[in-house]
Structure 1
């Protein structure tokens, strides 16, 4: 495995504040056989020049700049298409990687299409918190349904086999590309988790998620459910989906938008209750009244 070329797809957009720190953590990985592909999405700051400066001092780095702004989904798709390695890791522009990250992920991917790990949050100024991205998380070969109402595979934590690209392209235009990758890998039983913190994940006011939340404060509580609906639509386009699973996802999506008097959607309640262990595997196990109360609360939040 030490001879395998690992590509790193790093997308930039107005990330000059933290880009150098991230690049330092990448070029100093203990695994050295790297190809670092940086694609700038029409930044108006100094991001591209910072990338070019690193490329001048490290022949493993190749820099590209889009002619028009593609947005983060399509920019990552573009960056992945420019890589040539046997395996590909995805990098945000403002995180910090542990120096053994690539080594750990490569040694754990096996014959899977995608491997992911954990992260710890850091503040904008680099202060490390005690909050992991995934708290008390165990993957345990979860059912694909775990991606229908949420996600636990984050792009910056992943390493993928090159063959995976043919199964995930093109990325859906809406939603999040990493939810899509997690779903496809999980559906084909080609997903693995490494229970280690390998990234310091920076949360700040300019991050995509934070911008989405800040866009309309009154709609924050609905954003999560709207995103689920969008991703359910995306999953229905997956060509490898069998008819039975396609029917379940379609019924769940329809139930999301079905209105019943006064607050509760009976079809949604039935689906959530009967498939609770598959849809909410990251929550505590519930039975009987406890499960019903949770489902009623969840269903009402979708309606509100």
Structure 2
């Protein structure tokens, strides 16, 4: 299990207690601290000395950021399965046993992620699951379960690292982590390109939402962003950068590991090029968007009518 910390002392006690309360305890824990100044480092050092299982603790001399911190942590483990662990959540008691059983029953499975129950800073239920907050559709769910996750992941990331586990052999494919992508997103892309990833609808953690989340799902802002999103002009720059990086990395993985590149990649390139270079004139932009809509690519590679509305408004 790879646990990364940075100024998370307020919640570490509950998280670590939930790890020891697992029906099937971790075989090994690697804790990597990224320069905490709130007592987190001292706390995990003391906890590791008294833990009833092997725990290694490490601290970076300089801030690495959460992606590179996780990259270091996963490489410190020699277990067959690697679980990603955030510092501020609470694991439900059957998380490890449930997910390990899935890997045992499906030998071709490289990565598995699950639903979660969203809670506030005090661990009070917010009344919505992670998959509900992400608006995971039945079509997306069925595509992932059928082994066709890559096309979905190229549209948007569905994998939350705090709910994910993967086989150690995935590191042979995924290292080093690209700096332009979040670690959980990248591990999902790598597993779906060179193997199979899947999901479980069962919640396995209490996914805590609070003001200091490095990554999270702040519900009060999330719903407002769904249609309009980022300030005018910023979204398409980020969209082009992310999609360009994804296509580059997928092509690189396909070449390095002798797998067929996904057949949808040429159509995806057309759609990314279109959305990255929208006409500036209103009438011309609307006409071109309508033409792109008729091609079906908005539905496959973007978020359908929501993306059309964003592009018409030039947001």
Contact 2:298 2:308 in 1 (8 A): no
Which deviates the most, 218-227 or 32-41? 218-227
Which piece of structure 1 moves more, 153-162 or 184-193?
A: 184-193
Does the C-alpha gap of structure 1 residues 271 and 84 become closer, same or farther in structure 2, counting only changes over 3 Å? Answer: farther
Q: How many residues align?
A: 284
1:165 counterpart (164, 171, 178): 171
Structure 1 residue 202 and structure 2 residue 213: aligned? no
Quickly say closer, same or farther: Cα 1:267–1:90, change in 2 above 3 A: same
* Cα drift, residue 171 of structure 1: 1.1
Give the match for residue 71 of structure 1. 65
Instruction: Tell me if the contact between 1:148 and 1:231 (Cα under 8 Å) persists in the aligned partners.
Output: no
> Given the superposition, is the C-alpha separation of residues 162 and 73 from structure 1 closer, same or farther in structure 2, using an over 3 Å criterion?
same
Number of the residue aligned with 1:286: none
How far apart in 1 are the matches of 2:18 and 2:198? Answer: 24
User: Where does residue 16 of structure 1 map in the other structure?
Assistant: 9
Question: Are residues 1:84 and 2:78 paired?
Answer: yes
Partner of 1:57: 50
1:196-228 CA distances to partner (integer Å, 9 max, x unpaired)? 010100111111246998xxx998456765554
Equivalent runs, 1:121-136 vs 2, <5 Å? 121-135=118-132
CA separation of 1:229/1:207 partners in 2, compared to 1, >3 Å: closer, same or farther? farther
TM-score by structure 1 length? 0.82
TM-score with structure 2 length normalisation?
A: 0.80
Q: In the aligned structure 1, how far is the partner of 2:217 from the partner of 2:163?
A: 21
1:49 Cα deviation (Å)? Answer: 1.0
- SS of the equivalent of 1:93 reads coil
- Whole-Å separation in 2 of the counterparts to 1:161 and 1:143: 17
Correspondence for 1:182: 188
Name the counterpart of 2:158.
152
Higher helix share: 2
The SS at the match of 1:42 is coil
Deviation at 1:248, TM superposition (A): 3.4
Once residues 269 and 10 of structure 1 are traced to their aligned partners in structure 2, the CA distance between those partners, rounded to angstroms, is 47
Task: Single out whichever of 62-71 and 129-138 deviates more from structure 2.
Answer: 129-138
Report the equivalent of 1:300.
Answer: 312
Unaligned runs of 5+ in 1: 1-7, 284-290
Structure 1 residues 143 and 246: CA distance shift in structure 2, 3 A = same
- Return the alpha-carbon distance in structure 1 between the equivalents of residues 188 and 294 of structure 2: 21
1:191 matched residue in structure 2: 197
Aligned match of 1:230 in 231, 241, 259? 241
Q: Secondary structure at the match of 2:203?
A: strand
1:294 and 1:220 map into 2 onto residues whose CA distance is 13
Alignment partner of 2:70: what SS?
helix
Alpha-carbon contact 1:252-1:268 (below 8 Å) kept: no
Alignment partners' CA distance in 2, 1:272 and 1:87: 44
* Residue 266 in structure 1 maps to residue 297 in structure 2: no
